[in-house]
């Protein structure tokens, strides 16, 4: 029951749809935004209607709780940097009980299927999943097909395998890439017993709004968009637009009000 209550917090309208904003990139790639813009970014994401942010445990201490409002907190337990010999490697850098003490609503881990360290990452996933069961804590798994044995990381059959690995090992929600077509993604979603959310994808692919509509039309449960939000000149407005796609349409007056706040 307690896990069910926590899962409901991850969807603000409680419609089992999700807009997550990962801000864990400061470990993998470098600072997300300058320090003096951090609290404003959190406020923009929360005011825009994101359901949850995803950060590492140390970064939680830098967040003003009042800035989050109704936005949930997910603590990311995996890490790896762009400077590692294997950029697809991920290691555990936190534990579920730490996230509980920090007041998080869920934890997330990252697994790259097809990487040279896949075995270690699957072992870590199993460890975290067991701890989540003990704590009745939701687990979001970021599962991708990445590595030297992967041909097409957006192949629907491969994505279906990837999301089912995550589900079978304990994920409550799984994040992965969008398949090449809406039909292919629909097959991926239909294969998986837990909700599937899709990553934002590279900025060069298409508009993020079009990307979101394609995902939702395919039956996805939502989006997990980070870089395309925190690099946007108007993150609040972009989050509001994505929230209106993921959830019920946002009233035009609310969009106008949010835009005014962004430009203040």
Q: Mind telling me the catalytic residues?
A: 24, 144, 175
CA nearest to 20, candidates 233, 171, 216, 243:
243
Strands 72-76 and 52-55: parallel
Tell me the three state secondary structure of residue 232.
coil
Cα(251)–Cα(130) distance, rounded to whole angstroms?
Answer: 42
Residue whose pair of structure tokens reads 């409002």 in the numeric block: 69
Cα(11)–Cα(70) distance, rounded to whole angstroms?
Answer: 10
Query: Cα–Cα distances in Å, from 84 out to 80, 87, 124, 238?
Result: 7, 5, 19, 32
What number of CA atoms fall less than 13 Å from residue 98's CA on the CB side? 16
Cα(142)–Cα(155) distance, rounded to whole angstroms?
Answer: 17
CA nearest to 141, candidates 181, 173, 117:
173
Contact 67, 46 (CB under 8 A): yes
């Amino acid at each position: 029951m307690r896990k069910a209550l926590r899962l409901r917090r991850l969807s603000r309208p409680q419609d089992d749809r999700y807009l997550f904003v990962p801000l864990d990139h400061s470990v993998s790639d470098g600072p997300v935004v300058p320090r003096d813009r951090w609290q404003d970014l959190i406020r923009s994401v929360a005011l825009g209607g994101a359901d949850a942010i995803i950060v590492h445990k140390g970064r939680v201490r830098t967040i003003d709780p009042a800035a989050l409002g109704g936005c949930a907190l997910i603590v990311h337990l995996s890490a790896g940097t762009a400077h590692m010999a294997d950029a697809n490697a991920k290691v555990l850098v936190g534990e579920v009980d730490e996230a509980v003490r920090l007041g998080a609503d869920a934890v997330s881990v990252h697994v790259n299927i097809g990487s040279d360290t896949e075995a270690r990452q699957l072992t870590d996933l199993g460890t975290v999943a067991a701890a989540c069961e003990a704590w009745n804590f939701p687990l979001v798994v970021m599962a991708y097909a990445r590595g030297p044995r992967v041909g097409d990381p957006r192949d629907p059959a491969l994505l279906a395998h990837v999301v089912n690995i995550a589900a079978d090992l304990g994920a409550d929600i799984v994040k992965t890439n969008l398949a090449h077509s809406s039909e292919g993604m629909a097959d991926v979603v239909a294969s998986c017993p837990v909700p599937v959310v899709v990553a934002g994808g590279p900025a060069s692919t298409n508009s993020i709004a079009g990307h979101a509509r394609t995902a939702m039309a395919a039956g996805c449960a939502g989006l997990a968009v980070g870089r395309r939000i925190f690099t946007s000149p108007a993150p609040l407005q972009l989050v509001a637009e994505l929230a209106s796609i993921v959830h019920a349409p946002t009233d035009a007056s609310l969009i106008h009000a949010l835009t005014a706040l962004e430009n203040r």
